[in-house]
Each structure stands twice: as C-alpha cells, then as structure tokens.
Amino acid sequence: MNILVVRTDKLGDFITALPACKVLKKYDPRNRIIVCVAPLNESLAHACDFIDEVIIDDGRSSVFKLSQRFRAAKIDVSITLFSNTRVAFAQFLARIPKRIAPATKIAQIFYTQRVKQRRSEVKMAEFEYNLELARVLFPDIDLDFEKPLLRFDDALKVYEKFCKANSIEKETIAFHPGFGGSSDANWSVDEYIELVRTVLEKKSLQAVMTFGPDEQNLYDYCREKLKNEDVVFYISKEGLVNFAKLISNFKLFVSTSTGTYHLAALVGIPTMTFFADSLFASSARWKSVSDESLQKHYMIPHDKNKRAKMFEDVKKAITDVF
C-alpha cells in the first residue's frame, strides 16, 4: 500500500510526524511510506530508513503541480496530520481514494474521513495525536516505536572531527539559545550565558553553544560576551542532518521548546527544555519523541519571583546531571 503522510510545517512539527511514519512501516514493511514536507525537512526525511519517498511542498508552486506529484506517486491513502486548504485540495484533485485528516478548518471538506481530535484540549502530546490518525487506517496497529527513532552509523566520526577542530577532551553540554518555532517562552540570551558560566565552574565539562544558520547576530553576541572563556561556539551551516549527527554525541542539550529540541530528542540524547506556562505551549503538548526518562521539562512562570527561583533551580540541575 502506498501511504502518503502530510506534514508541511516546521522542523519540530515534522519530527512529531515521524513516529506515525515508523509504525505504519512497521505494521507492514511492504507499505510504501511517502511524506509531503516543507523544503527545510527534506534532508531529514531522506535520512529516515522508514520513509521511502519524499515530496516537497514549498508552498509557492501551484496546487495543480502539487496534485500532479501526488498522482505520480500512485497513492492509495493519505494521512494529513496538519492540514490547510492547499494540501487538502491538491489531494482531492489527485483523486487519492482514501484521505484521512483531523476534522478542523474548512479544509476538512476535501477529505473522505474526518477525525475529531480537539487537539486544543491537549489530552495527549502532538506526536500521540498523529499516532492516533495512523490507528484510523489500521485499527489493530501497534503504536509503540523504537527509540531513538534516528541513528547514524557515521555520527561518531562527525563528533570526533568537531572535537579535534575545537580541542575538546571533555564531555559536552550544549546550549541552544535561539528562539523560534512554536516556543512561547525562553530565558534571555544573558541568562543562557549565565547558565554556560555555571557549567564552566565544573572543570570536567565542556560548554558548547549552538546556533542555526540564520542566527549570526546571536552567535556574534555570545562570542563577544564569552570571548575570554572556554566555550566552543558552533553555527550550523553544514545542513540539518550533519547537525543531527553532531548533537547525537552530546551529553545534554539545553534549549527552549523549538525544532532543535525535537531534533536532539529524535537522535536520543538527554534534553533540558523550557516551555511557556500555558496549556497550548506546554510540555504536555510538545513533549518529544524520545524516552521520557531523558526529558527534563521546565514551565517558565510569568511571576518574576517564581521565574527567578526556577532559574536558580535550572542552574543547579544542569551541573547535577553529571
């Protein structure tokens, strides 16, 4: 069976779709898993051995061209995890026989099977809602999946090259101060710098600060603030998969609830993550696809005094990891 899984939004959102892809492939290895993703996620999708084909939707080409790509893939059934009118109409035009999607927005009229999930109630995490849509197709499907979902045979070589280039001989804790995606709360950049300095007090650990390719100004600011201290700065310009290989060897990844947090969880490293103190942006909704024992979550409060106390708790927790 040719199964199309559609998730065309950001990095973290796409990663929440991967457990559904995995269990669909595990249910019957003869299933051909085709994903429709945004250009950002193309290389990561190709790196997953449980995905057979990748269709890119840049959001700019015509809906008719997108429908032609769907038709060429000879899809038997589609599962749209997050829908919009454009991708819904393209599937309708492609005449995919069975089209499953949540019963939300006007786009639902283009699907043959609409599922009421009420995700705003956050009765489960985003990736768990996605898994439930896989169960609509196969009611007897096993929704358990192997963790980590993504492994690389050459990840250690990437890390060893990084360590050699930066004279690293200690275990590494990475901080990713960038703020984006669906994250609604974070520490300030200067607070991240204070967290880094807390790690520097523990001589057995190496602090690394990582940045996305579009975060040059943030990178420059942190380098200037910490220019006389033993911190390694890394701006990811070698692609998403290379970055995933690198961070898979870190001992802890500290960040807000953004795409890089989900990426770290995808490759199975411990995460310390900061969330907004609201149901919509909470860890209940956005917990990652990794083993829960590897996840440490903090809901940053709005109250100034409570926030300050939590920050001190975080400082202590970071060094207590080892």
β-pair partners for 252 = 173
Q: Could you tell me the two tokens for 33?
A: 């898993």
Q: Which three-class secondary structure state does DSSP give residue 322? A: coil
Task: Identify the CA nearest to 172 among candidates 243, 269, 263.
Answer: 269
| Domain range list for the chain | 2-137, 155-320
Q: Could you tell me the two tokens for 285?
A: 């909704």
Q: Could you tell me the two tokens for 183?
A: 């994250």
Q: Which three-class secondary structure state does DSSP give residue 103? A: coil
Superfamily of domain 2-137: Glycogen Phosphorylase B; (3.40.50.2000)
Q: Which CATH class is domain 155-320?
A: alpha beta
* Contact (Cβ atoms closer than 8 angstroms) between residue 112 and residue 94: no
Q: Could you tell me the two tokens for 46?
A: 């190709």
Intrachain domains 2-137 and 155-320 with the same fold: yes
Q: Which helix (H) or strand (E) holds 271?
A: strand 271-276
Buried b (16+ CB within 10 A) or exposed e, 217-227: ebbeebeebbe
pLDDT at 195: 96
Helical residues (DSSP H) of the chain, grouped into ranges: 11-15, 18-27, 42-47, 63-72, 85-93, 126-137, 155-166, 189-200, 216-225, 240-247, 259-266, 283-286, 304-320
Tens-binned pLDDT, residue by residue, of the chain (322 aa): 999 999 999 999 999 999 999 999 999 999 999 999 999 999 999 999 999 999 999 999 999 999 999 999 999 999 999 999 999 999 999 999 999 999 988 899 999 999 999 898 999 999 999 999 999 999 999 999 999 999 999 999 999 999 999 999 999 999 999 876 555 679 999 999 999 999 999 888 999 999 999 999 999 999 999 999 999 999 999 999 999 999 999 999 999 999 999 999 999 999 999 999 888 889 999 999 999 999 999 999 999 999 999 999 999 998 776 6
Task: Identify the CA nearest to 4 among candidates 61, 60, 51.
Answer: 51
pTM attached to this predicted model: 0.95
Q: What is the pLDDT of residues 171-227, one digit of tens each?
A: 999 999 987 655 567 999 999 999 999 999 988 899 999 999 999 999 999 999 999
Q: At what angle do helices 304-320 and 189-200 cross, to 10 degrees?
A: 30
* Contact (Cβ atoms closer than 8 angstroms) between residue 277 and residue 260: no
Q: Which three-class secondary structure state does DSSP give residue 80? A: strand
Number of H helices, E strands in the chain: 13, 12
